[in-house]
Amino acid sequence: MRAKIAITIKPDVLDPQGKAVLHALHDLGFSAVADVRVGKYFEVELEAGTAEPEAAIAQMCEKLLANPVVESYHFTLDEGAR
């Protein structure tokens, strides 16, 4: 079972990387890009049969993967993966 987790920076918080990437994309001619936010991405492989996988992933995010002060997270679970 695989969880795909995206960690994003909260909306009002400055995202210097996103800003730099936005500029770079404009310089490269991608003028239709209005905004870029950069976050982190995790693929977490859980052993099959893990009980309450959703609660476990949410806990991992809160305890370790995301910094609740400035980031939020969301994830999807792929039952089939692997």
Partner 1 sequence: MAPETITPALIEDHGLTPDEYQQILAAIGEEPTLSELGIFSVMWSEHCSYKSSRAYFKHFPTKGPRVLQGPGENAGIIDIGEGLCVVFKMESHNHPSFIEPFQGAATGVGGIMRDIFTMGARPIASLNSLHFGAPEHPRTKYLVNGVVRGIAHYGNCMGVPMVGGEVHFDACYNGNILVNAFCLGIARHDEIFKGKATGLGNPVIYVGSKTGRDGIHGATMASEAFDDAAQERRPTVQVGDPFTEKLLLEACLEVMRTGAVVGIQDMGAAGLTCSTFEMASRGGTGMEIELGRVPTRAAKMSAYEILLSESQERMLLVAAKGREDEVLAVFQKWDLDAVVIGHVTDGERVRIRHHGETVVDLPVHPVCDGAPIYERPQGQMQPPTLPNPHPEPIHDANRALLEFFGTPIFGDRSVVYEQYDHMVQTNTVVRPGADAAVLRIPGSTRGLALTTDVNARFCRLDPYKGAVLAVAEAARNLACVGAEPLGVTDCLNFGNPQNPGVMGQFVQAVKGIGDACRFFRIPVVSGNVSFYNETEGTQIYPTPTIAMVGLVDEPRADVSGAFVRAGDRIAILGSSRGGLPGSLYQLWRHGGISGGLPAVDLEAERRVQMVVRQAIGDRWVTAAHDLSDGGMAVALLEMAVRSAQLGCSILSQPEGLTWEEWLFGEDHGRVLITYHGENEERLFELAEQFRVPFEAIGRVDEGRVMIPAVRVDLEWSAIHEVWRAGLRRVIE
Partner 2 sequence: MTIGIVVFPGSNCDEDIRRALVDELGAEARFVWHKETTLPAVDAVVLPGGFSYGDYLRAGAIARFSPVMRAVRDFAGGGGYVLGICNGFQILTESGLLPGALMVNRSLRFICRDVYICAGESKAALSARLDAARAFRVPIAHQEGNYVAEPETLRRLNAEGQIAFRYCSSGGVLDEAANPNGSLENIAGVCSPNGRVLGMMPHPERCSSEALGATDGAEILRAWLATR
CB of 15 to partner 2, least distance (A): 9
Q: What are phi and psi of 51, to 5 degrees?
A: -75, 140
Window 37 to 76, contacts with partner 2 (CB under 8 A) = 38, 40, 64-65, 67, 69-70
CB of 25 to partner 2, least distance (A): 10
3-state secondary structure of 79: coil
Distance CA 42, CA 38 (A): 13
The mark string for 41-70 relative to partner 1 (x by CB under 8 A, - otherwise) is --------------------------xxxx
Amino acid letter at 8?
A: T
Among residues 19, 58, 65, 72, the one that binds its own copies under rule CB under 8 A: 65
Distance CA 72, CA 5 (A): 10
